[in-house]
Structure 1
């Protein structure tokens, strides 16, 4: 059975499905899902993330974590947590770089929140020496200070799409066409309760026919992490592509073999993501009593952490060809026409904590 077959059966039994239900089934169905059945990363996969572009990305985040830990008063123990760690590349680079702060490494235990069995196998191989512990969610993380890294994690969480229809916001749903084969978009009858999650200004002022997106799972995770910060201390660093201020627009997209794909024709065979609403995440964190720092562009963030100096250091020990590759990777991570401005970084801390490095 394919994801498409599974969704057709559900639609016949339950009626049109929300975008969130479609994304959840397509990405993390335990037997059929995109992430649970394959390794999507790298040139041979469907997309490349920043840690796969250059070791510098993970190294700088590892040093960032060590400096944040020192600013926290060097608690021992401390959990170093990554949400959606992919192949384990970022964590491996972060641990290698942070080994230069031996007390930090001695105090840390590594925790990976990962749903994919296929990716857990990659992580186990790459991080064998770190003895990581895996978690299905946040509930089983240890009750202690934590530094949490989430790189390209929130963009893959299921979203709800809402369309303004007069005074109401109606939910966009997926149905099956009359031929019982192709999928089509439709609108649920009546007002959606998810409209209450929209920015109040957006909810009241958006024009008729406007489409807006909310991510209930992302907002819930943000609040949970904020609660943990308030209880135990620590910091969260989230890097993703998206917008700093809540806005209308359809950002749901499918990517297959590094190219845009038809969402409805590639369910289960392509990555599905949506732009992260950092404004909404910030409101959730603030309502929970914590603080959001940023967002700042990924380029500015990495430059403040010293990526250009790190690139030059690598180049001095490299061949001409290797040096060109290092400089090219650096440009890809920070240039405004590449990942420098579309991708953004935010940090979450307790209200009494100073701004972390890169957010001063």
Structure 2
């Protein structure tokens, strides 16, 4: 049964986020449930696949945070949406070089796709790594959540304001199995929810991560319980776009939206200004939102690259700096990708942000 046929059996109209949730995460036919989308043979690459320098900087940041928390004997690291496990694998290799720190850590992976869980278990053969099923698995010590390109993959709602009325975008399947977008007047519950956020108060077009905020609700609850924070790195914007940012990617190229359902990735740009509003509403401390380039440079990525390059031949150096350029250059990931850190602590946790 195709995804569209399965969808038609349930309903012919559905909010965009519910439709995308099925398209991406359906247990049998969902995009993330039947293939490994990462790397050259997949549909896209992320920073951990581009260069281990990115992974090293995240490791440096985590270890420094542990020190700022006064080196607790229990320290929990949770990677959100760990992909093929590349980041986690590198983190463990680096953590092992700091025995006292590594002894204190529990590493958890939070992954919705059962298929990708299998990929991760194959790539990460480490007894100290656990796959998180319930939040009560973590009950002692500060918790640090890390999400690299986690939030963009969570389906969003879309709203439009017309004549002082708020409408939500729905997906409709016509008699010929063609997909089209329609507007329906939104519910009072949605209207009430949107009013909580300054970032979208006067917007005429709104992308709202309701499902993403549902994920953050249990995450922030756990952080409030044990202390700690959440670091999110993703492509996105701070000032409102006032347009649809939904995009589809297939084989490293842009794909027509809603074409090749279940075979192509569909994501959206992350509204970091809205994310900051969310965390402030939860009474979290939030550093200024910075670009990926700013964050990695503050952590010392250029110095690290220089040290590594001294032992390399010309070809290896060229490859190193080409990959570094992809991470830092404004034409690539440097400016488009943003970084936010929200936390519950009396300490000034600003490494990488000032």
Normalising by the residue count of structure 2, what TM-score does the alignment of the two structures yield? 0.94
Structure 2 CA distance for partners of 1:18 and 1:137, relative to 1, 3 Å: farther
How far did residue 138 of structure 1 move? 4.3
Structure 1 position 252 matched with structure 2 position 249: no
Cα offsets for 1:4-61 (capped at 9, x unmatched):
22222223xxx41111111100111111111111100001100000000001111110
Measured in 2, the distance between the counterparts of 1:140 and 1:275 equals: 31
Match of 2:27 among 30, 33, 45: 30
Structure 1 position 353 matched with structure 2 position 347: yes
Measured in 2, the distance between the counterparts of 1:202 and 1:359 equals: 21
Structure 1 position 269 matched with structure 2 position 263: yes
> More deviation in 37-46 or 244-253?
244-253
Cα offsets for 1:170-209 (capped at 9, x unmatched):
11001012x3311111111455632334365565533xxx
Alignment check: 8 A CA contact 2:199 2:277 kept = no
Structure 2 CA distance for partners of 1:283 and 1:125, relative to 1, 3 Å: same
Measured in 1, the distance between the counterparts of 2:226 and 2:161 equals: 41
| Structure 1 vs Structure 2 CA RMSD | 1.9
Measured in 2, the distance between the counterparts of 1:356 and 1:220 equals: 26
Cα offsets for 1:241-288 (capped at 9, x unmatched):
111234422001111111111222222111111111112221221121
> More deviation in 134-143 or 285-294?
134-143
Q: Which residue of 2 aligns with 1:211?
A: 205
Measured in 1, the distance between the counterparts of 2:147 and 2:186 equals: 36
Structure 2 CA distance for partners of 1:220 and 1:327, relative to 1, 3 Å: same
Q: Which residue of 2 aligns with 1:194?
A: 190
Structure 1 position 229 matched with structure 2 position 223: yes
Measured in 1, the distance between the counterparts of 2:23 and 2:117 equals: 19
How far did residue 327 of structure 1 move? 0.3
Q: Which residue of 2 aligns with 1:108?
A: 105
Q: Which residue of 1 aligns with 2:79?
A: 82
* Unmatched 5+ stretches in structure 1: none
Structure 2 CA distance for partners of 1:203 and 1:236, relative to 1, 3 Å: closer
> More deviation in 320-329 or 220-229?
220-229
How far did residue 84 of structure 1 move? 0.3
Please state whether the residue corresponding to 2:312 is helix, strand or coil: coil
Match of 1:91 among 88, 91, 114: 88
Structure 2 CA distance for partners of 1:136 and 1:267, relative to 1, 3 Å: farther
Match of 1:289 among 258, 283, 288: 283
Q: Which residue of 1 aligns with 2:176?
A: 180
> More deviation in 122-131 or 156-165?
122-131
Alignment check: 8 A CA contact 1:243 1:275 kept = yes
Structure 2 CA distance for partners of 1:133 and 1:5, relative to 1, 3 Å: same
Please state whether the residue corresponding to 1:205 is helix, strand or coil: coil
* Unmatched 5+ stretches in structure 2: none
Alignment check: 8 A CA contact 2:287 2:341 kept = yes
Alignment check: 8 A CA contact 1:115 1:136 kept = no
Alignment check: 8 A CA contact 2:165 2:185 kept = no
Cα offsets for 1:275-316 (capped at 9, x unmatched):
111122212211212112131000010011111111122222
How far did residue 229 of structure 1 move? 2.3
Structure 1 position 134 matched with structure 2 position 131: yes
Q: Which residue of 1 aligns with 2:5?
A: 5
Structure 1 position 120 matched with structure 2 position 114: no
Measured in 2, the distance between the counterparts of 1:4 and 1:266 equals: 11
How far did residue 351 of structure 1 move? 4.8
Q: How many residues align?
A: 353
Alignment check: 8 A CA contact 2:231 2:339 kept = yes
How far did residue 79 of structure 1 move? 1.1
Measured in 2, the distance between the counterparts of 1:132 and 1:294 equals: 31
> More deviation in 318-327 or 224-233?
224-233
